[in-house]
Structure 1
Amino acid sequence: MSLPLLVFSDLDGTLLDHHDYSWQEARPGLDRLRDIGAGLVLASSKTGAELRALQADIGCTGWPAIVENGAGILWPEQDAGAEDGDYRRIRAVLRDLPPGFIGFGDLDDAGVARLTGLAPEAAHLARLRQHSEPGLWQGDADALPAFLRAAEAAGLHARRGGRFLTLSFGRTKADAMAEVVAALKPRRTIALGDAPNDVEMLDAADFGVVIANPHAPPIPPLPYETGGRIVRTTKPGPEGWAEAILSLTTAPG
Structure 2
Amino acid sequence: MKLMVFTDLDGTLLDHDSYSHAPARPALEALAALEIPLILASSKTAREIAPLHAELALAPCPIIAENGAQMVTPGTEAAEDRSAYRKIRAALERMPAELRSCFTGFGDMDRQGVIEATGLDPQSAGLAQARCHSEPGLWSGTEEGFARFADLLGQEGISSRRGGRFATLSFGATKADRMRELIAAHAPDHTIALGDAPNDIEMIETASHGVIVRNTHGPGLPPLDGERAGTVRRTQAPGPQGWNEAVLDILEELELHRRAD
Q: Could you tell me how far apart the structure 1 residues matched to 2:166 and 2:60 are?
A: 31
TM alignment of 1:97-112, pairs within 5 A: 100=100, 103-112=105-114
TM alignment of 1:129-144, pairs within 5 A: 129-135=131-137
CA deviation after TM superposition for structure 1 residue 28, in Å = 0.9
- Structure 1 counterpart of 2:192: 190
Alpha-carbon RMSD across the aligned residues, in angstroms, is 3.2
Q: Does 1:250 align with 2:220?
A: no
The TM-score normalised by the length of structure 2 is: 0.80
TM alignment of 1:1-253, pairs within 5 A: 3-79=1-77, 82-94=80-92, 100=100, 103-113=105-115, 115-135=117-137, 150-161=152-163, 164-169=166-171, 171-252=173-254
Q: Could you tell me how far apart the structure 2 residues matched to 1:144 and 1:226 are?
A: 30
Q: Could you tell me how far apart the structure 2 residues matched to 1:51 and 1:157 are?
A: 22
Q: Is the 8 A contact 2:104 2:137 kept in 1?
A: yes
The TM-score normalised by the length of structure 1 is: 0.82
Structure 1: runs of 5+ lacking an equivalent: none
Structure 1 residues 223 and 61: alpha-carbon distance in aligned structure 2, compared to 1, 3 A threshold: same
Residue identity (%): 49
CA deviation after TM superposition for structure 1 residue 164, in Å = 4.3
CA deviation after TM superposition for structure 1 residue 202, in Å = 0.9
Structure 1 residues 19 and 117: alpha-carbon distance in aligned structure 2, compared to 1, 3 A threshold: closer
Q: Is the 8 A contact 2:27 2:244 kept in 1?
A: yes
Structure 1 residues 184 and 233: alpha-carbon distance in aligned structure 2, compared to 1, 3 A threshold: same
Q: Could you tell me how far apart the structure 2 residues matched to 1:127 and 1:218 are?
A: 26
Q: Could you tell me how far apart the structure 1 residues matched to 2:217 and 2:91 are?
A: 37
SS in 2 for 1:232: strand
CA deviation after TM superposition for structure 1 residue 71, in Å = 2.4
Structure 1 residues 219 and 115: alpha-carbon distance in aligned structure 2, compared to 1, 3 A threshold: closer
CA deviation after TM superposition for structure 1 residue 190, in Å = 0.4
Q: Deviations over 1:3-59 (max 9, x none)?
A: 321100111221112332211111111111112110001111211111111111222
Q: Could you tell me how far apart the structure 1 residues matched to 2:149 and 2:213 are?
A: 35
Q: Which amino acid is 1:130 matched to?
A: C
Q: Could you tell me how far apart the structure 1 residues matched to 2:242 and 2:133 are?
A: 31
Structure 2: runs of 5+ lacking an equivalent: 256-261
Q: Could you tell me how far apart the structure 2 residues matched to 1:110 and 1:127 are?
A: 11
More deviation in 142-151 or 29-38? 142-151
Q: Could you tell me how far apart the structure 2 residues matched to 1:42 and 1:35 are?
A: 18
SS in 2 for 1:225: helix
Aligned length: 250
SS in 2 for 1:249: helix
CA deviation after TM superposition for structure 1 residue 122, in Å = 1.7
Q: Which amino acid is 1:124 matched to?
A: G
SS in 2 for 1:250: helix
Q: Is the 8 A contact 2:139 2:146 kept in 1?
A: yes
CA deviation after TM superposition for structure 1 residue 127, in Å = 1.0
Structure 1 residues 144 and 69: alpha-carbon distance in aligned structure 2, compared to 1, 3 A threshold: closer
Q: Is the 8 A contact 1:49 1:80 kept in 2?
A: no
